[in-house]
């Protein structure tokens, strides 16, 4: 009898073990399936490290609805301005690398390493280039009341009153565009930082700052409304948006400063997710309506591969480091 009970007990225990193993396997499979869902499996957040109303914000709003349609998930624009894009960039750099939190930033990304001795993130190691959304030349604009109509007039005014004329900047990249102007024109314009192109344009229109450097796409609204004056563009050829505007290089030989707006992802984001975001943004940028909207704001669509974008980040960081050294700008 004892022998029979023992065998029965063993069989029961074996069945229980098999059942437990089956349940455990099912749970693991379910958990893995949930983890392995294709990107995106929830809302995607695009962080803008500027105040609303500027070019970076406009770039995001042009593409977010069409991306949401492709992905079948909401695409949320989240503005986190401050500290020359550092606040928003740090937030994304320290986010989970699964593609659901992205950074849409400007050329400030490659300028900041020359302005700040210690950033709270590594702009190369912590943020992975995905693609460039658009490119736009910088522009030099003036308050309507300022008695200047060209870059040449600005140079004359500054030389007549050294150290007394300031220019507003929308971010660190436009700040360096102004310093590049100083270097080549041998002027001493003083910079005033704003939390984005929106606030800068508001102060320019109100006459609170005499001059400003910002992307053509950022200034076009106020220029067309007649609230600020466009003095010139920083490309070597005229802007499609303002074909009659002079190129600054006509008065300042060699002056060229181009702004880009691009998407980066936190480190650790899988390569296939990076590739999908690049591919889908590229699809959106080929849409005729999207292209027209970018053209209307003075920008050209991007679509660069992650590799092309990474190479541009590297080369421009080196360029602005040379400009900073030549101008005596030391990281703070």
What are phi and psi for residue 226, nearest 5 degrees?
80, 15
Average per-residue pLDDT for the chain: 89
Q: Which residues pair with 106 in a beta bridge?
A: 261
Which structure tokens are listed for 156? 């004359």
Q: How confident is the model at residue 33 (pLDDT cuts 50, 70, 90)?
A: very low
* Cα 281 from Cα 293, distance rounded (Å): 15
Q: What is the pLDDT of residue 175?
A: 87
Q: How confident is the model at residue 9 (pLDDT cuts 50, 70, 90)?
A: low
Instruction: Report whether pLDDT(89) > 60.
Output: yes
Contact between residue 278 and residue 309 where contact means Cβ atoms under 8 Å apart: no
Least confident range of 71-75, 127-131, 214-218: 214-218
For 47, half-sphere exposure in the C-beta direction (CA atoms, 13 angstrom radius) is 24
Which structure tokens are listed for 241? 């948006």
Q: What is the pLDDT of residue 16?
A: 53
* Cα 238 from Cα 148, distance rounded (Å): 20
What average pLDDT does this structure show over 77-90?
95
Q: What is the pLDDT of residue 218?
A: 86
DSSP code for 207: T
Instruction: Report whether pLDDT(6) > 80.
Output: no
Q: What percent of the chain has pLDDT over 90?
A: 70
Q: What is the pLDDT of residue 170?
A: 84
What average pLDDT does this structure show over 80-94?
95
Any idea which residue has 């030391």 for tokens?
Answer: 330
DSSP code per residue over 17-32: HHHHHHHHHHHHHHHH
* Cα 121 from Cα 20, distance rounded (Å): 46
DSSP code for 113: G
Instruction: Report whether pLDDT(37) > 70.
Output: yes
What are the tens digits of pLDDT across the range 258-299? Answer: 889 999 999 999 999 999 999 999 999 999 999 999 988 888
User: 20 or 77: which carries more pLDDT confidence?
Assistant: 77
What are phi and psi for residue 322, nearest 5 degrees?
-65, -40
């Amino acid at each position: 009898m004892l022998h029979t009970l023992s065998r029965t007990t063993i069989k029961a225990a074996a069945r229980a073990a098999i059942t437990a193993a089956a349940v455990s396997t099912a749970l693991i499979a379910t958990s893995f399936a949930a983890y392995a869902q294709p990107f995106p499996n929830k809302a995607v957040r695009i962080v803008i490290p500027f105040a609303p109303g500027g070019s970076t914000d406009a770039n995001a709003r042009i593409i977010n609805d069409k991306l949401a349609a492709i992905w079948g998930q909401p695409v949320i624009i989240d503005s986190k301005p401050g500290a020359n894009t550092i606040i928003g960039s740090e937030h994304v750099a320290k986010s989970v690398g699964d593609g659901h939190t992205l950074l849409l930033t400007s050329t400030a990304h490659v300028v900041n390493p020359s302005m700040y001795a210690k950033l709270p993130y590594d702009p190369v190691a912590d943020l992975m280039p995905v693609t460039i959304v658009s490119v736009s030349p910088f522009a030099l604009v003036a308050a309507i009341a300022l008695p200047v109509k060209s870059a040449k007039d600005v140079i004359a005014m500054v030389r007549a009153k050294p150290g007394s004329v300031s220019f507003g900047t929308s971010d660190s990249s436009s700040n360096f565009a102004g310093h590049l102007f100083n270097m080549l024109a041998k002027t001493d314009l003083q910079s005033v930082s704003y939390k984005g192109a929106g606030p800068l344009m508001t102060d320019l229109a109100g006459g609170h700052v005499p001059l400003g450097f910002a992307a053509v796409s950022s200034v076009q609204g106020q220029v067309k409304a007649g609230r600020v004056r466009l003095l010139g563009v920083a490309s070597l050829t005229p802007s499609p948006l303002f074909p009659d505007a002079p190129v600054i290089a006509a008065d300042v030989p060699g002056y060229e400063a181009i702004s880009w707006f691009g998407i980066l992802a936190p480190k650790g984001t899988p390569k296939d997710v990076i590739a999908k975001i690049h591919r889908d943004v590229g699809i959106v940028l080929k849409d005729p309506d999207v292209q027209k909207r970018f053209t209307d704001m003075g920008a050209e669509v991007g679509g660069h591969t992650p590799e092309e974008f990474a190479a541009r980040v590297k080369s421009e960081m080196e360029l602005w480091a040379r400009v900073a050294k030549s101008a005596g700008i030391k990281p703070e």
